[in-house]
Amino acid sequence: MDPYKYRPSSAYNSAHFTTNTGAPVWNNNASLTVGSRGPILLEDYHLVEKLAQFDRERIPERVVHARGASAKGFFEVTHDVSHLTCADFLRAPGVQTPVIVRFSTVIHERGSPETLRDPRGFAVKFYTREGNFDMVGNNFPVFFVRDGMKFPDMVHALKPNPRTHIQENWRIMDFFSHHPESLHMFTFLLDDIGIPLNYRHMEGFGVHTFTLVNRAGKCSYVKFHWKPTCGVKSLLEEQAVIVGGSNHSHATQDLQDSIAAGNYPEWKLFIQTMEIKNENNYDFDPLDVTKTWPEDLFPLQPVGRLVLNKNIDNFFAENEQLAFCPALVVPGVYYTDDKLLQTRIFSYADTQRHRLGPNYLLLPANAPKCAHHNNHHEGFMNFTHRDEEVNYFPSRFDPCRHAERVPIPSHPLGGRREKVMIEKENNFAQPGARFRSWPAERQERFIARVVDALSDPRVTHEIRSIWLSYWSQADRMLGQKIATKLNVKANM
């Protein structure tokens, strides 16, 4: 072995995936879990290395969600949900909690136009009396992939070509041809709602399934939905060209101007809940982020309203330094074993520590608005004034004690260590049903966007055939129409 031969040069890449130290990676698609659906193990070194490496790829701009706009306001409870959760900020109708919200595009750079077809981030930070609760979601209720192991590769495929810095459809079609679970997300991204008119006319979703826990310790699965009171409005391609050509910051300006004029954006918060004991009774996995819960089985229940009535004071301090993490929950709200959520719990905080420093939670926009105390001290940019002599726990010289115990899910876990996909993939039923729910003209616009993506000259016959097979399995007519426009035979 020549120790100086192989690096740094991609000319000597191995034929198989490895870790940074050269250890072979035999499964680069699935995280190591307890059983097929259990929580992810921290000992999955490859996953942790992959996510940690990915989180440090850009500095100082965010890797994703770089282009964003923020505003401040309040959340007010309008309906009693105390039977579902012991969360203090949801304790009774009329209770108000200050919030800051950041809207964003996902893939493109900080200075990119806000009229590009792209998912939108919808992140809400609740400054509760029990600490901060971050509801970090998107404007679509589903996502491209189910397992965070795939997330860095997914973003790489959606980002510009590293050689040319041009976003290209052949890369996107190639990557997602390996992941039919993405079909449902594409029925949102390539739909008419793929380019929101602005942030005020945009829905928001928690995307993941979380757990609500009440005072008695009873747990329920929950999905969060934000519905704008002014309705959902979007831009078609021709309109987006005109709007983006005149103002590439049109959504940021609309948010700023609307609040300044007293036309405060408002959303209603709804939830869907599910009895955990019934989670195996359906043809989909309720923890699968590529699926929605049918509203006829799980009706939307009103909870409260979100009102944005104050513009931020400083873009850098309250937008660029504003940091979210889905790990930030409060008593009464907890995680689930959703594989994508489990990886985000690690990755988001890791990203912020890299981008903003280990003490990013001391920055005003991120710091809790309630009294807090711990022994995390020193480190880069720690500006907290401290005059204590005791910085350890416990101590007979310091009266600090444990907080009151709060209930969390406590179901037993068991299973073998294994890297596997979830059993109920069912990748095609919901995308097909969504397509069939649209009027004919909306279907035709969707088909045109799919055809445009598959018409990239570098999309091979094999990749095109795979996509035709996928769309045909979702809906036979849809596959036939795409094949006709591509002048190829549908592969049923």
CA distances from 339 to 36, 211, 333, 335, 420 (A): 10, 14, 17, 11, 11
Contact 77, 304 (CB under 8 A): yes
57: region left, alpha or beta (phi > 0 left; psi from -120 to 50 alpha): alpha
Q: What is the DSSP letter of 49?
A: H
Helix, strand, coil: what percent of the chain each, to 5? 30, 15, 50
Which residues, listed in sequence order, are joined to residue 213 by a DSSP beta bridge?
219
Q: Comparing C-alpha atoms, which of 269, 287, 282 is closest to residue 95?
A: 269
Residue set of the binding site: 348
**Six-digit token string for 225:** 């939905």
Cβ neighbours of residue 366 under 8 Å, at least 6 residues apart? Answer: 125, 132, 321, 322, 323, 360
Which contiguous run of DSSP H or E holds residue 215? none
Burial of residue 142, with CB atoms counted within 10 A of its CB: 0-12 exposed, 13-18 middle, 19 or more buried: buried
Given the residues 65, 108, 250, 354, select the one marked as catalytic. Answer: 65
Binding site for heme: what residues are annotated? 348
Q: 278 CB contacts (<8 Å, ≥6 apart)?
A: none
**151/175 Cα distance (integer angstroms):** 11
The rounded distance, in Å, linking the Cα atoms of 154 and 463 is: 16
Distance CA 358, CA 380 (A): 7
- Catalytic residue list contains 65: yes
Annotated active-site residue in 132, 138, 359, 427:
138
- Catalytic residue check, 138: yes
- Active site positions, annotated: 65, 138
